[in-house]
Chains A and B, each alone.
Chain A
Amino acid sequence: MAAGIPARLLPAGLRRRLGRARLRDPAYGFLFEPGPENEAVSFDCETTGLDPRRDDIVALAALRIRGNRLLTSERFQAVVRPQAAMARQAIRVHGLREADVVEGRRIEDVVPEFLRFVGGRTLVGYYLEFDVRMIDKTLRPLLGIGLPNPCVEVSALYYDRKYGDAPAGATIDLSFAAILRDLDIPALDRHDAFNDALMTAMMYLKLRDLKDRGIRIRRDGHPADRHMPMG
């Protein structure tokens, strides 16, 4: 059933059932169990280029989010030896040269570890779809499925907090730098997979909190009630 329809367009419950049915290796059934309550995983990949069909992962990092804690002490980090040649453009972005990744591990070994780290937790990322597709590329031949986890896109949370009530025609900036600035999150060296995952996780916590408290980000750059006295 549903042949030809990309799984990600199906309702989440249906997608999970479908995925579970397609799963080749029952040892990975944990992916379909709900993760520990209140936990999520922020993750980021660095790649040889921007085409998921041709390019490969060279670095993968993830960290768990438990409640309002970022468990940086339990991080997942791996350097991967890619099969695709490194695009010069990509080297300039993440600074990993061929020589740096030649000692890396095989993606087929890294992804199962990554899956165990993630379990059934929600995934958090920035332009997450790209990273998920990069993982799925390895996952499908291995298990017959893509990542079944629920996903939270921080740029979407940000859009909602900042531009959800914007008049039509407003200039919209969803860049990583703009989000960092608006949320006053420390700007770490970018395009290091772990730093990116960490900054993304901080964005997630803050955006989730702003949403809980019903606070919008002013389009001149600050959360709207920043200067209100607090109770």
Chain B
Amino acid sequence: MAGIFDRSDPPFDRLTDDEAAALEAALDIGYFRPGEIVIAQGRPAEALCIVIKGAVEERDGDETVALLGPKDCFDSRALVQGEAAHGFVAREETLCHMLPREIALRLIRDNPRFAAFFYLALSQKLDAIAREDEAGSAGTLMQARVSDLRLHPASFIGSDATIEQAGHLMRAIDSNALFVRDGARTGVITGMNLSKAVVLTRQPISAPVGRLAHYDVVSVRPDDFVYAALILMTKTNKRRVAVHDGSDYVGFLEDIELLSFLSGNAQLVAGRIDRAAGLPDLAAAARQIEEQVRLLRRQGVKVEVIAEIVSDLNRRLFARTFALTAPAEIQTQGCLIVMGSEGRGEQTMRTDQDNALILRAPADPAALDAFRRDFTAALEGFGFPPCPGEVMVRNPVWSRTLEEYRAAFRQWAAIPDETAHMNVAIFYDASAVAGDASLLDAAKAALAEDLGIGGEAGRGSAYMAHFARATEAFPMPIGFFNNLLTPDGQGDAVDLKKGGIFPIVHGVRSLALERGLTETGTAARIERLAERGAFSPAFARDLTQSLFLLMTMRLDAQLGAIKGALVRPADLSSVERDLLREAFHVVKQFREIVRRHFNLGMF
């Protein structure tokens, strides 16, 4: 019979039956009225609390740093460390399970998997969960249906068509198999059947295919599970099976598609981009990049790896587009760059275009104008929306000579308004995609010089302080935690980008720019900053993992067809909420580091 304590909720699902029974036997229930202190800041905690109903604020002094709702646990740090770093106060009438300290510590001591949930630094915790995710990813993969895969569309040919006609049709539709209509029955003929007939049995190419086809067609239905198709292929030793939707054949499933589905097929997409003969070919490949994201994520690939693969594919696509649209003069005398998240290699789902062209010397105006127009339009045609701020090649401000950029840099330095800061930020993140990469290096060096940073200590510090301020542009998303309070969990969703991703990216960018680092990726910058002593290696790990966690949740939200970077607390498991809370803790600490470093308190 269901009691009030649910031992299937993480992390209690990691306990053995005996341990769970011991835990339940030791639980009491506490009732707290609004405003009542559950655990006082700086005092030892006598119990581990698990919220049953209500809401508890986690407070640091007067500041609310988090809000806890049903199934949330607190405060393991206080249990382990002896005193509570934060205070916990009931926000509304709240019921909590209270697990006595000794019992909780004994379970933590005896059960490492249980302990992992409470003890470990965020990065280790995430690793532990990632391992479980990976173990589970075969499971989700196995839930995929045949219709999720790329199928070769069905093409039909009459039984009296000739071997020659069949061969031409196969080549025209880029398929190795056709369906053969022979009266009421339908068969299949493959390229191999045609070759064997001609080469081995010396049939004329005018022979009808009806006699060569086989009619014992092995088929699956679109809503069959992928694993069923895989088993069927193995059993029947077929390299392809027909797909039949109940009324007719709709296509073929080839083993190559199945294998690439199982392993991801980024290489295939890369090959298609590199081989593309024209923009239409590229458009088809561009569509497949988007599919890769979904595929890779479903396979449990980590977000940083997905970002790397997607950035690589996008850059290939841009480079190929550049090669197809830019006149020779621009290709050799220019450098195509991508900026912002694309430049940092942190893009997963497609965002607005952020690209530019740096020229060594003035190009022929007419040819340049044509290129500007064609390049941006081509990308738009591939599904990269135009940048609302016009940070694109088609804007002459973002496709000009190094000298002209230099003049702009001086202006950004002289009039450090918001636009100037944004321009510095996206340009500092730029990566060269095609053409002469040394132009970008020269431009970045010039930018640092004009801003007076990256050189001797002290110079440019006022500029950098203004630049870094944006790290504090958005309040911490305490609103997120408030949403746990709404009874149906349907309150406003939290913006992971503003609340977490942006402060990390921009804070790291500020610290990196000040030191003149040349890395563009945020994770690489964090690592280098730790080497330079900006913060400890342990904090660097937590910061990187927090960024990846936020990116992962954002990506999952985007894949879940929710617009933008919003996540609804109700859609998260209690483990995810717990991780998110910890990630926001790290973001908060990091903002503090940035604030102190740039003395932002003076504003």
Task: Name B28's contact: one of A70, A202, A230 (CB within 8 Å).
Answer: A70
Cβ of A102 within 8 Å of any chain B Cβ, yes or no, is no
12 other A-B residue contacts (CB within 8 Å) besides A70-B29, A186-B4: A68-B32, A69-B28, A70-B31, A184-B53, A185-B53, A186-B53, A186-B95, A194-B3, A195-B1, A195-B3, A202-B29, A205-B31
- Closest residue on chain A to residue B487 by CB atoms: A184
> Interface residues, chain A, CB within 8 Å of chain B?
68-73, 184-186, 188-189, 192, 194-195, 198, 202, 205-206, 209, 213, 223, 226, 230-231
Across the interface, which residues of A come within 8 angstroms of B54, CB to CB? 184
Total contacts A-B at CB 8 Å: 59
Query: Is B53 within 8 A of A73, CB to CB?
Result: no
Shortest C-beta distance, A21 to chain B (Å), equals 38
Which one of B2, B33, B98 has the greatest number of beta carbons of chain A within 10 Å? B33
Shortest C-beta distance, B104 to chain A (Å), equals 13
- A contacts with B: majority SS: mixed
Query: Is B28 within 8 A of A213, CB to CB?
Result: no
Across the interface, which residues of A come within 8 angstroms of B112, CB to CB? none
A125 to B95, CA, bound (A): 19
Query: Is A73 within 8 A of B28, CB to CB?
Result: yes
Across the interface, which residues of A come within 8 angstroms of B30, CB to CB? 68-70
Query: Is B26 within 8 A of A202, CB to CB?
Result: no
Across the interface, which residues of B come within 8 angstroms of A71, CB to CB? 28
A213 to B31, CA, bound (A): 14
> Interface residues, chain B, CB within 8 Å of chain A?
1-4, 25-35, 52-54, 91-93, 95, 98
Task: Name B98's contact: one of A69, A186, A189, A226 (CB within 8 Å).
Answer: A69
Query: Is A189 within 8 A of B29, CB to CB?
Result: no
- Closest residue on chain A to residue B103 by CB atoms: A73
Query: Is A73 within 8 A of B27, CB to CB?
Result: yes
Query: Is B98 within 8 A of A195, CB to CB?
Result: no
Query: Is B31 within 8 A of A68, CB to CB?
Result: yes
Query: Is A195 within 8 A of B4, CB to CB?
Result: yes
A178 to B397, CA, bound (A): 68
Q: List 17 A-B contacts (CB under 8 A).
A: A68-B30, A68-B33, A72-B29, A184-B53, A185-B53, A186-B4, A186-B52, A186-B95, A188-B4, A189-B2, A202-B29, A206-B93, A209-B31, A209-B33, A209-B93, A223-B93, A230-B35
Task: Name A189's contact: one of B1, B34, B35, B93 (CB within 8 Å).
Answer: B1
Across the interface, which residues of A come within 8 angstroms of B27, CB to CB? 72-73
Across the interface, which residues of B come within 8 angstroms of A192, CB to CB? 1
Query: Is A188 within 8 A of B31, CB to CB?
Result: no
Across the interface, which residues of A come within 8 angstroms of B29, CB to CB? 69-70, 72, 198, 202
Shortest C-beta distance, A176 to chain B (Å), equals 16
Query: Is B25 within 8 A of A230, CB to CB?
Result: no
Task: Name B25's contact: one of A68, A73, A202 (CB within 8 Å).
Answer: A73
Across the interface, which residues of B come within 8 angstroms of A188, CB to CB? 2-4
A70 to B32, CA, bound (A): 12
A180 to B119, CA, bound (A): 36
Query: Is B35 within 8 A of A231, CB to CB?
Result: yes
A202 to B30, CA, bound (A): 9
Shortest C-beta distance, B25 to chain A (Å), equals 6
Across the interface, which residues of B come within 8 angstroms of A198, CB to CB? 4, 29
Task: Name B91's contact: one of A68, A194, A205, A230 (CB within 8 Å).
Answer: A230
Across the interface, which residues of A come within 8 angstroms of B1, CB to CB? 189, 192, 195
A209 to B27, CA, bound (A): 22
Query: Is B25 within 8 A of A184, CB to CB?
Result: no
Across the interface, which residues of A come within 8 angstroms of B25, CB to CB? 73
Across the interface, which residues of A come within 8 angstroms of B32, CB to CB? 68
Shortest C-beta distance, A162 to chain B (Å), equals 15
A88 to B29, CA, bound (A): 35
- Closest residue on chain B to residue A228 by CB atoms: B34
A198 to B33, CA, bound (A): 18
A73 to B4, CA, bound (A): 13
Query: Is A73 within 8 A of B33, CB to CB?
Result: no
A184 to B25, CA, bound (A): 25
Shortest C-beta distance, A95 to chain B (Å), equals 8
What 4 A-B pairs are tightest by C-beta distance, nearest first?
A70-B29, A205-B31, A68-B31, A230-B34
Across the interface, which residues of A come within 8 angstroms of B3, CB to CB? 188, 194-195
A202 to B53, CA, bound (A): 11
Shortest C-beta distance, B405 to chain A (Å), equals 53
Query: Is B92 within 8 A of A202, CB to CB?
Result: no
Shortest C-beta distance, B500 to chain A (Å), equals 27
Which one of B3, B31, B52 has the greatest number of beta carbons of chain A within 10 Å? B31
- Closest residue on chain A to residue B25 by CB atoms: A73
A223 to B34, CA, bound (A): 12
Across the interface, which residues of A come within 8 angstroms of B4, CB to CB? 72, 186, 188, 195, 198
Across the interface, which residues of B come within 8 angstroms of A70, CB to CB? 28-31
Task: Name A206's contact: one of B28, B31, B35 (CB within 8 Å).
Answer: B31
Query: Is A184 within 8 A of B28, CB to CB?
Result: no
Shortest C-beta distance, B51 to chain A (Å), equals 11
- Closest residue on chain B to residue A74 by CB atoms: B28
Shortest C-beta distance, A144 to chain B (Å), equals 36
A188 to B29, CA, bound (A): 14
A71 to B47, CA, bound (A): 13
- Closest residue on chain A to residue B92 by CB atoms: A226
Shortest C-beta distance, B278 to chain A (Å), equals 62
